[in-house]
Amino acid sequence: MVAPGAVAAREAQGARDQARGSYPIIAAIRIDRDDVFDLDNPDERHLPYIWANRLHIETREQIIRRELLFDVGDRADPDVLYESERKLRALAFLHDNSRIETMPRNDGRVDVVVHTRDIWTTKPVASINRSGNDTTGRFSFVEENLLGFGKRLGVSLKKELDRKSGGIEYSDPRLLGSRWTLGAFYFERC
């Protein structure tokens, strides 16, 4: 005898499989990358924002594509598209307004458009303190999207009254394009 819950689960799975078979085929995938500041917005069309956009290196298309859970020829399953959107939003160097949309074609297939917008990922920090003849300070610099490849590089230097210290860190969340993560750092006190 089969439990009623198991029968209902099998029927629900069968209905989901049948629905997935009716989703249109993906004909093309287009990546629409936007820079940090939207220069079409009058509030952001000022010289500092223009310079920042020119200095900023946009996230490379291949970095965005590697996060997608679908490819040309797959069915445009809304669950898979949503999960890909969620993965893009989780990246520290993309704005959380990333979205994926489908555009119907005349042949019954769809084009998928992936919209992303970078965020500012360069984070410098500097501080100097002076008390009498003693000077202390700290400098650090972190780039969360090194050259648009989604890798992190950080450098820090610190001078205290009795010692100096410094370090460097590197992180690659997709070592050589794989699912492996590399994190390395070196820190020294003098």
- Helix, strand, coil in percent for the chain, rounding step 5: 30, 40, 35
Residue 141 covered by a domain: yes
pLDDT digits (tens, 9 = 90+) for 10-24: 555 554 555 556 899
Q: Decide which of 93, 117, 141 is a domain's last residue.
A: 117
Distance, CA of 68 to CA of 71 (rounded, Å): 8
Query: What is the C-alpha radius of gyration for the chain, rounded to an integer number of angstroms?
Result: 24
Distance, CA of 106 to CA of 154 (rounded, Å): 49
**Highest mean predicted confidence (pLDDT) among 24-33, 121-130, 131-140:** 24-33
**2 has pLDDT over 80:** no
Which domain does 32 fall in, by range?
Answer: 24-117
Query: pLDDT confidence of 143, banded at 50, 70, 90?
Result: very high
Torsion of CA 72, 74, 77, 83, to 10 degrees: -60
pLDDT digits (tens, 9 = 90+) for 148-186: 999 999 999 999 888 999 999 999 998 988 889 999 999
Residue 19 covered by a domain: no
Cα 111 from chain centroid?
22
Residue 134 covered by a domain: yes
Distance, CA of 86 to CA of 79 (rounded, Å): 10
Q: What pLDDT is attached to residue 3?
A: 54
Residue 6 covered by a domain: no
Sequence-separated (6 or more) residues with CB below 8 Å from residue 3: none
Same domain, 169 and 150: yes
Q: What pLDDT is attached to residue 133?
A: 86
